[in-house]
């Protein structure tokens, strides 16, 4: 459906592997507040990352198809406004590159009948030049009437894993840009939103949220990609996931709270050890910075409420909340 292309410079940069994910680096230059409020007209920023190099949070945009930057004082600027990005979703920063999911829920200023609910791509930008270096088409890898690339996880060897919320599939993209289906399973199906947030665990597996089912699943990369439900949890309709100090921070409750989830048996089972419900409203996902979790209040509920009438999407006030 779309063209996949690469630049030779990217093969050199990524071929050595993602030795460190910037989302989890310490920033030596700033003391972070408990809350960052920012103004960005009609941004609706579904994804958040942090770049120590830029000393900024990076936020995506469902409605604008761009990437913005927010400093700790709440100053927002457009960072990348590429024509290829229809609706930017999950975003990560690692080793001088920005990785972002490209989708189309039909509410972007760039939406077309050909792309709406049919788009799942991985785009990679150079953090220094801000130029697009790779565009990997994923929706052609799995036959489904609907697609939505939602979130991504990075493995240290350069492999990227991408969830599709409208098709029951997780994609795999190698460090050289080859896309494939990692797993597909009816467990990931949903009449509304299926797979959502995803993280890579250094013990060699993925943890993924199935929003519609309210469950977390483990995909064991060292055991033929075996899928198992993380047991003993209550219903947990998760959105974004972030792993910090072996605990998983799950945005849940339709974006009204963040749950700190812990496992003592390598994620066969888990339990909620703490829930923070102060300062969250229509939140989507989070990022680890300076040993703390910061969650994006993205006004995500307005997106579903405005389907069919995008003129309703006019919000400009957003915030980033620290987990306490």
| pLDDT tens, position by position, 170-218 | 999 999 999 999 999 999 999 999 999 999 999 999 999 999 999 999 9
Adjacency order of strands within the sheet including 215-220: 195-201, 205-210, 215-220, 226-229
| Contact of 17 with 158, CB cutoff 8 Å | yes
Q: How far apart are CA 301 and CA 306, in angstroms?
A: 9
The top-level CATH class assigned to 29-322 is: mainly beta
More confident position, 2 or 47: 47
In terms of DSSP bridges, do strands 292-297 and 5-6 run parallel, antiparallel, or are they unpaired? unpaired
Quote the pTM value: 0.93
Q: What is the mean pLDDT of the chain?
A: 92
pLDDT tens for each residue of 211-248: 999 999 999 999 999 999 999 999 999 999 999 999 99
Q: Report domain extents, the chain.
A: 29-322
Q: What is the DSSP code (8-state) at residue 286?
A: E
């Amino acid at each position: 459906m779309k063209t996949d292309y690469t630049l030779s410079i990217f093969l050199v940069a990524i071929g050595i592997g993602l030795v460190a994910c910037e989302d989890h680096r310490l920033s030596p230059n700033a003391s972070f507040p408990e809350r960052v409020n920012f103004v960005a007209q009609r941004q609706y920023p579904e994804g958040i990352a942090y770049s120590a190099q830029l000393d900024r949070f990076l936020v995506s945009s469902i409605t604008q198809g761009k990437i913005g930057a927010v400093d700790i004082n709440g100053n927002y600027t457009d960072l990348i406004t590429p024509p290829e990005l229809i609706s930017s979703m999950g975003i990560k920063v690692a080793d001088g590159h920005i990785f972002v999911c490209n989708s189309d829920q039909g509410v972007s200023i760039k939406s077309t009948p050909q792309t709406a609910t049919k788009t799942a791509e991985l785009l990679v930008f150079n953090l220094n030049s801000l130029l697009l270096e790779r565009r990997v088409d994923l929706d052609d890898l799995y036959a489904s009437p609907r697609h939505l690339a939602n979130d991504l996880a990075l493995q240290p060897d350069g492999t990227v894993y991408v969830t599709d919320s409208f098709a029951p599939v997780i994609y795999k993209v190698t460090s050289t840009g080859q896309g494939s289906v990692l797993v597909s399973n009816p467990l990931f199906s949903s009449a509304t939103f299926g797979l959502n947030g995803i993280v890579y665990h250094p013990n060699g597996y993925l943890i993924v949220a199935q929003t519609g089912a309210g469950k977390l699943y483990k995909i064991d990369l060292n055991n033929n990609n075996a899928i198992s439900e993380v047991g003993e949890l209550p219903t947990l309709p998760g959105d974004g996931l972030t792993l910090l100090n072996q605990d998983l921070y799950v945005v849940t409750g339709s974006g009204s709270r963040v749950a700190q989830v812990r496992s003592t048996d390598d994620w066969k089972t888990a339990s909620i050890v703490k829930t923070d419900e102060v300062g969250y409203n229509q939140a989507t996902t989070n990022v680890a910075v300076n040993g703390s979790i910061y969650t994006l209040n993205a006004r995500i509920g307005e997106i579903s409420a405005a389907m069919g009438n995008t003129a309703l999407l006019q919000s400009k006030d957003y915030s980033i909340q620290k987990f306490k």
